[in-house]
Amino acid sequence: MSAVLDTPATTHAVTAPVGYVLHLADNAAVLGQRNAEWCGHGPILEEDLALANMSLDLIGQARLLYSHAASLMGTDSAAALAARNGGRLDEDTLAYFRDVPEFCNYTLLELPHHAALVGYAKADMDYATTIARNFLYSALMVPLWTQLQTCSDEVLASIAAKSLKEARYHLRHSRDWLVRLGDGTVESTARMQAALAHLMPYTQEFWTQCALESEASAAGIAVDWDQLQADWNALVDDALSEADLARPASSGYITQGKNGSHSEHLGFLLSEMQGLARAHPGAQW
């Protein structure tokens, strides 16, 4: 991969901490990989293509963010990572040559496409789970990218402005399907309600401040978390009301993916995503 921004390569007065940029990049890369698993398996042809396109959007966001993160890294960190990939430090290195504890994505995004397999399951991919996750995440990213497009880091602001357009489409797509399935048949309603009940507790991680976010605020990349949560709640509640779905409780253990503590699922996802690159470190394709 190689990513090019239209923003001139200048020295900025304010830059985001590299850890926060990696957090945003990891979110996009991991969900992009998950959505790509539907390619060739969508419930209808149009949805097969829609999810593939959204996956490409997310991977494109990850490329830009990883490239920005690479430019922000200190000499020692950059050298250590570059050594894993034939001396190169670029978006490929950050996506393919970091291990599970080094990823800082939300745990929600690495989960498989089902809550729990049951005896009558015909596949291990549940479309309601995928739609619910895409909705909960894009409902966060639309207001977050909106805020970040005016942040002091000009490169991150440029990435946010581009990503916001894509996130709005992702939100519209997932919301439409959430309403369609929630207000559909008895079975579709039950499956969407079950998917929400499974995933909603993982959204607690959105609102638990971590060192990455505190560092970003201290560096001048300020996010109004109270407004962000209010906007997210409004988007979620409005969609659930239209879909005649109950909002499940958000309680229980708060996952720590953005702090590097992940579920067992991320290792399997990364082994598939990274396998080819790690078999040929430093290769030019």
Q: Which CATH number belongs to the domain containing residue 69 in this structure?
A: 1.20.1260.10
- Give the number of other CB atoms < 10 A from CB of residue 44: 9
Q: Determine the structural domain holding residue 216 and report its residue range.
A: 18-113+124-279
- 8 within domain boundaries: no
pLDDT at 190 over 60: yes
Query: What is the overall mean pLDDT for the chain?
Result: 91
Structure-token match 């009558």, residue found = 120
The residue-averaged pLDDT of 231-259 equals: 96
Higher pLDDT, 116 or 213: 213
The number of domains in the chain is: 1
The tens digit of pLDDT for each residue in 71-116 reads 999 888 899 999 999 999 999 999 999 999 999 999 999 999 887 6
The residue-averaged pLDDT of 59-63 equals: 98
The residue-averaged pLDDT of 273-279 equals: 94
pLDDT of residue 13: 60
- 27 within domain boundaries: yes
pLDDT at 245 over 70: yes
117 contacts: CB under 8 Å, gap ≥ 6? 124
- 212 within domain boundaries: yes
